Structure 1
Amino acid sequence: MVKTVDIAIVGGGMAGASLALLLQKFCPQLSVALLERQPLPLPTAGTAPQLPSFDTRATAVAAGSLQIFSELGLWPRLRDYCAPIERVQVSDRGRGLGAILEADPRKRASFAGMLGAVIENAALGPVLYDALAQTDAQLLAPAQVRAVTMESGGAQLSWRAEEGGSERTLQAGLLVVADGVDSPLCHQLNIGVQRVEYRQRALITTVGLQRDHGGVAYERFTERGPMALLPLPRRDGQHRVALVWTCADEEAEQIASLEAGAFVERLQRAFGWRAGRILRAGKVHSYPLSLSLAEEQWRRGLVLVGNCAHFLHPVAGQGFNLTLRDCHALALTLARGCAAGAPPGELDLLQEYGRERRLDQQLTIGFSDRVPSLFASGSLWARGLRQAGLLGLTLAPPLRAGFVGQAAGFGL
């Protein structure tokens, strides 16, 4: 028996779950199925996620993205698990000049008055799925998608609930692929990928500080790669920040293998004392870095969102924010099409979505790709250019305001 839905989303991570919620809000008349390969035990409605005090990954969410979460009614629950970013201190290690980007103090009560917030993933996931459980969206998990066939009316998916289980079929007017880099479905659909290997790794962990971070995020550029300390909520009386430390492949392996005390000492020496004394660090996770761009993000009956569409360098924390803006725009575009009687997989509708997203993607991807190499270069030309850029941000309020607006997700 073939089951039919208007939209099938393959991939139940933050991108897929957010899109499903946005579709339920803006296109409630469309049936949505979300397929996730891993089992996803749903939390009991209203219960608080159980969070560790350390070793929890986090996501920097721009103010514009917080506004989207507010539209979905999620902010009252997320607020308890995030730390606001009120200022970003940008500096060039070993050089005196830097820049401070801060929210407008006159607008502190609104999302436009904050640069964003850092939300712990251990809380964000359960909040998204708790909200999803209260909608009409169908959650199919675990669901292993075995094959996809594109047809004139959309896509036909063959999937199994478990390895060796019976084959099931799902027909969808629009297929949204929301899985990760090296997506098996994208390979199957012959969607090419442009990739730049940075030959770097991101070391990610939670760090304890001696003093309160005060809502300040630090972006520190060194000749070996950028470093970021992002504010986290206090837990168990500890002042915590999330560390993203970009290193060359060979150096990253050596640093990640250090015992805890030696790691903290190496981190303090590399970052400096702008955030105060570093007391401890949690377990260090290491991830390879690359820029990955799908050569096609839409076809008739098909859209790509999330990491399979674009996977960015984490230097500015814009990957998930760009994805969320994509998902928001897609839901609004499909809502307009639905009101006009257009099927969700219609090519003209998806091309409209693509035109709307082109400029934001180009600016965000270009920035995330070029800034790390500029700040890592030791050449006199590069040093002069980045110092001029920091000086411009310091002395030119309109330039600084435009940069802050784009970083906060309000620039376009």
Structure 2
Amino acid sequence: MTADNKQSEQPATGVDVAIVGGGMAGASLALMLAHYCPQLSLALLERQPLPDPQASLQLPSFDTRATALAAGSLQLFAELGLWPALREHCAPIEHIGVSDRGRAAGIALRAPEEPHASFDGMLGAVIENAALGPLLHRALARTGVQLLAPAQVDSVQMHEDSAQLQWRAGDREHTLRARLLVIADGTDSPLCRQLGIDIERVSYRQRALVTTVGLAQPHGNRAYERFTDAGPMALLPLPPRGGQHRMALVWTCEAADAETLAALPERDFVARLQRAFGWRAGRIERAGRLHSYPLSLSLAREQWRRNLALVGNCAHFLHPVAGQGFNLTLRDSYGLAQTLAREDLARNSPGQLDLLEGFGRQRRRDQQLTIGFSDRVPPLFAAPGLMARGLRQVGLLGLALAPPLRAGFVGQAAGFGL
């Protein structure tokens, strides 16, 4: 990453790769392409104004969503030179406790005992999205990527050798032609609908409650995945702020229960949370404003065509169990960047079909394992029958006692070796 870059006042009319969507997925892919494929001309289009790369980060203590970065994702960001900046805003995960509420068996993962799934002595790290997004865009501002924002993409036309975008900045209309178009504009993507890309959806008929909670004692860099009869709960460590020990909460529950919980006063909600989760993390003192969203699996039936690729939530949106969604997106983005880096792009187009098919084949196994895990595990742990409970206990006990089995499980979750 070399030359400083500001949002372009004279946008280009043609680039090698155009990425639509400047969120965490699109920004991460743009950084990887700039790093591994410096010969490519790149444009990133985002409909919202981008963060000021010179502004200081003003992070709230509560009411902000967070992302758990697996060890493999930390390694990818380290290769991009971003780890020193990210480290200042991350809470490391050095221990992970996985348990089934009310049952004896569980798994305790510790970084020193899982060297194959660790980065810099960590199994992962947690960073608030309010910090991660601006840090990614600060790094982008130091690359040659052309940043177009706010840019509203109205339509796309696919041609034999390129994709042509019609986009607007205010009342000015522009045309951009790209040899490869990457769509990264999230779930319910308007461009995917326009291109007729079918999305397979499965509703879990549950909701996730997300908030920040304050603890009476330090979390000790521990993360907890707690399975209950209603669904999984996760508490993830956050950096302390304002003298408060903090963790990020993701609480999966039935839609009616989520509505009831969201309506409770803070004191009553904290009491319900303490009863449901238990005391493994100590006493919970407070909770921020709750965010609630429906849980589903969505998977694009086509993640690539000639001159077109999908990354991020428009390609796959997962159940939040084990926090694998963004980590899978990073591995997809790295796979695409590496595929293009190995090609002679002076002679061959980055959008040629056989190149993108090779990228798809290379990513298939990781996606199948990760999506399958996130789809099948929550129903198993929510099943109330004695047989289901027995299977859960056998599974957790097997992972706890069998190092090769645990190594495979943890290595997959960490994103190494794929």
Class of the TM-score when normalised by the shorter of the 2 chains: over 0.9
Provide the residue aligned with 1:158 in structure 2.
Answer: 166
Separation in 2, partners of 1:341, 1:212 = 56
Q: Note the alpha carbon deviations across 1:169-196, whole angstroms, 9 max, x for none.
A: 0000000000111111000000001100
Q: Which amino acid aligns with 1:136?
A: G
Residue 366 (structure 1) aligns with: 372
Q: What residue is the counterpart of 2:86 in the other structure?
A: 78
- Report Cα offsets for 1:185-244 as digits up to 9, x if no partner: 000000001100011111000001111111111000000111000011111121110000
Secondary structure of 1:403 counterpart: helix
1:29-178 equivalent positions in 2, closer than 5 A: 29-44=39-54, 48-104=56-112, 111=119, 113-162=121-170, 165-178=171-184
Distance 1:128 1:383, change over 3 A: same
Deviations 1:48-72 (A, max 9, x none): 4111122221100000000110011
**Code of the aligned partner of 1:14:** M
The aligned counterpart of 1:12 is 22
How big is the alpha-carbon RMSD for the aligned residues of Structure 1 and Structure 2? 1.6
Give me the whole-angstrom Cα distance separating, in 1, the residues matched to 2:187 and 2:391: 33
Distance 1:411 1:110, change over 3 A: closer
The question of 1:296 aligning with 2:302 is answered yes
186, 189, 208: which one aligns with 1:183: 189
Aligned to 1:310: 316
Which letter maps to 1:337?
A: E
Quick one: structure 1 residues 102 and 355, their matched pair in 2 at CA, closer, same or farther if it must change by over 3 Å? same
* Partners of 1:90 and 1:99 within 8 A in 2: yes
1:6-49 superposed Cα distances (whole Å, 9 cap, x missing partner) = 000000000000000000001111110000011113221xx641
State the SS of the aligned residue for 2:240. Answer: coil
> Quick one: distance in 2 between partners of 1:304 and 1:314?
20
SS in 2 for 1:227: strand
**TM-score, with normalisation over the residues of structure 1?**
0.96
- In 2, the alpha carbon distance for the partners of 1:388 and 1:66 equals 32
**3-state SS in 1 of match to 2:239:** coil
Counting aligned pairs with the same residue, the percent is 72
2:31 equivalent in structure 1: 21
Q: Is the 8 A contact 2:219 2:281 kept in 1?
A: yes
SS in 2 for 1:332: helix
SS where residue 226 of structure 1 aligns?
strand
Equivalences for residues 315-334 of structure 1 within 5 A: 315-334=321-340
Verify the 8 A CA contact 1:195 1:293 in the aligned structure 2.
Answer: yes
Q: 2: CA distance between counterparts of 1:10 and 1:261?
A: 43
> What does 1:242-281 align with in structure 2 at a 5 Å threshold?
242-281=248-287
Give 3-state SS (helix, strand or coil) of 1:64's partner.
Answer: helix
Which of these residues, 187, 194, 199, is aligned with residue 205 of structure 2?
199
Deviation for aligned residue 1:114: 2.0
Moved more, 123-132 or 336-345: 336-345
Equivalent residue letter for 1:67: Q
Distance 1:347 1:59 in 2: 33
Q: Are 1:338 and 1:344, in contact at CA under 8 Å, matched by a contact in 2?
A: no
Query: How many angstroms does 1:381 deviate by?
Result: 1.7
Where does residue 236 of structure 2 map in the other structure? 230
The aligned amino acid for 2:102 is G
Deviation at 1:265, TM superposition (A): 0.6
Q: Which amino acid aligns with 1:82?
A: C
Kindly indicate whether the alpha-carbon contact (under 8 Å) linking 2:209 and 2:252 is maintained by their aligned counterparts in 1. Answer: yes
Gaps of 5+ in 2: 1-10
5+ residue gaps in structure 1? none
1:240 aligns with 2:250: no
Q: Report the CA distance shift for 1:390/1:106 in structure 2 as closer, same or farther (over 3 A).
A: closer
2:235 is aligned with 1:212 = no
Q: Could you say if the C-alpha distance between residues 34 and 339 of structure 1 is closer, same or farther in structure 2, counting changes exceeding 3 Å?
A: closer
Shift of 1:338: 3.3
> Separation in 1 of the partners of 2:413 and 2:355?
28
Q: Output the amino acid matched with 1:43.
A: P
The one-letter amino acid paired with 1:372 is P
Q: TM-score, normalised by structure 2?
A: 0.95
Helix, strand or coil: the match of 2:344? helix
Residue 346 of structure 2 corresponds to residue 336 of structure 1? no
Deviation at 1:340, TM superposition (A): 7.2
Cα separation, partners in 2 of 1:223 and 1:109, compared to 1, 3 Å: closer
**What is the identity, as a one-letter code, of the residue corresponding to 2:317?**
F
Give the whole-Å Cα distance in 1 for the aligned partners of 2:93 and 2:74: 12
How far apart in 2 are the matches of 1:77 and 1:235? 18
